[in-house]
A and B are shown apart, each in its own frame.
Chain A
Amino acid sequence: MQEFGSPYNDRDPENIGSSKVPPSEGFREAAIWQILETVCDPEVPVLSILDLGIVRNVRCSPYPHLGDGGENLEEVEIIITPTYTGCPAMDMISINIKLALAEHGYKNVKVTSMLSPAWTTDWMTEAGKEKLKAYGIAPPNVRQQVCNNDLFAPNEAVQCPRCNSYHTNRISEFGSTACKSLYQCDDCKEPFDYFK
């Protein structure tokens, strides 16, 4: 199961424990995970939704179910979680999941949004972080990203995705989408997004 990008590979065991949904097993689910790898985040098209860590689980009915015309009517449920509550990409992602599965013959697909446990940057895969950086967006630091409660706290050191310098400055905690902050590099002067 692991090689198909199960969301439980490299996650905090505490988070796994708090989830009521067991990791999905079986080769039919595995085939679906592979298809999900091809669905991208519409805002950051280099990332698949598995890289982003927003697919929580895949559930299939226990047996294949073919219609009269031989079409695949197997019930499939994909459980996803939003990065930020108001993320407008979620509706688009849900449509894209259904389209991708429809292309592979799955007609009976339900996409469910689950809020708890809440998404964290820890769920992004290492491969995803590398793709982000190559795309010009600074990936989240290793430590889980949460808002620092101290007012006027100094910037956390974020590496410039262009020249790798750590001499960077936060311009704004809020960026072009709900999941990004805006930074600028003091060395190469390039402004860049940081995934928060």
Chain B
Amino acid sequence: MEKFNTSNIKETLEQSEPSKVLPSGEDLGGAFLLHLADTTLILSQRNSEWCGHGPILEQDIALTNISLDLLGQSRNFYQYAATLINSSTNQAGAQVTEDSLAYLRKEREFKNLLLAEQPNGDWGQTILRQYFFSQYQYLLFEKLQNSSDEQVAAITAKALKEIKYHLRWSSEWVIRLGDGTAESHQRMLHAVDELWRYTGEMFLPADYEKVTGIDFSFLKDAWMKNVKAIFEEATLAIPENVFMQTGGKTGIHTEHMGYLLAELQYVQRAYPNSEW
């Protein structure tokens, strides 16, 4: 049983200043939900850039399906976060919604993994980014589905069924490309070189993750074991002595994030409160 629960969230949210509409670093539980929501939203946005550009139609559809699943998961987390934030601030008329959390926060307020915001690169790089994340998400959500917070347990249990498809699809592609032609192998080596430095962050808990009771060193070992097995099949080597980039979980992003948000948030920024 994970220690993460609503009472943690409420307690920390209630301590925040009533004028705060959006949670800040002190709102530990709410911040954890936003971290989960932000990572799935940003990765969904990145993957969706492939829509209409996939190497073949079926794989274009596969990646956009994964995008849609991730977007659905992020909506569930944002909706839940919004409920908790609204119930803890006694402000009339300043209610946050899933939309305001996604469209009206600034770069420094986003807590997504750096891995999620990295550019698509080629197909191999997109596949590897998805594989690294799905492998991590699978292990993390397996823990969270037993959370004492019923809503977190329900969202993650539901999502796990979808993640299994993502993990299997991306694992197969890593093997297919790594152990494929000389060209595809070369491209996967490049992808590993580009992305490995963003994998360490997943296992370094931010303050809001430390209160969840999740054992991140267990997650790291399990992740590494699975990645090693897939890399072996794919004839790829695990890089050693790579400096790991961090900061995404606390709002310090890579230079790509601003451009991504500019595109994601453009309509709401240019035409505030416009509706579809």
Name A residues whose Cβ lies closer than 8 Å to a Cβ of B.
82, 84-88, 114-118, 146-149, 151-152, 171-176, 178, 182
Question: In whole angstroms, how far apart are the Cα atoms of A147 and B164 in the complex?
Answer: 6
Number of inter-chain CB pairs below 8 Å:
80
User: Which residues from chain B sit less than 8 Å from chain A, CB to CB?
Assistant: 58-59, 61-62, 65-66, 68-73, 75-76, 150-151, 153-155, 157-159, 161-162, 164-165, 168-169, 171-172, 175, 233
Q: Which residues of A contact B155 (CB under 8 A)?
A: 85, 115
Q: List 16 A-B contacts (CB under 8 A).
A: A85-B72, A85-B158, A86-B75, A115-B155, A116-B150, A118-B158, A118-B161, A149-B168, A151-B171, A171-B58, A172-B59, A172-B61, A173-B62, A174-B169, A175-B61, A178-B68
Indicate which residue in A86, A87, A149, A182 contacts B164 across the interface (CB closer than 8 Å): A149
Task: Decide yes or no: A87 and B72 within 8 Å by CB, A116-B157, A118-B157, A151-B171 being known contacts.
Answer: yes
A85/B62 in contact, CB under 8 A: no
Chain A facing B: main interface SS: loop
Contact of B61 with A174 in the complex, beta carbons under 8 Å: yes
Question: In the assembled complex, which residues on chain B have CB atoms less than 8 Å from the CB atom of A82?
Answer: 72, 158
* CB neighbours of B171 from chain A (8 A): 151
A87 to B162, CA, bound (A): 12
Given contacts A147-B165, A147-B168, contact A116 B158 (CB under 8 A): yes
- Does A86 contact B61, Cβ atoms closer than 8 Å? no
- Distance between Cα atoms of A115 and B158 in the complex (Å): 7
Q: Which residues of A contact B151 (CB under 8 A)?
A: 115
Closest B residue to A181 using CB positions: B165
Chain A residues, CB < 8 A from B172:
151-152
* Pair A172/B58 contact, Cβ less than 8 Å: yes
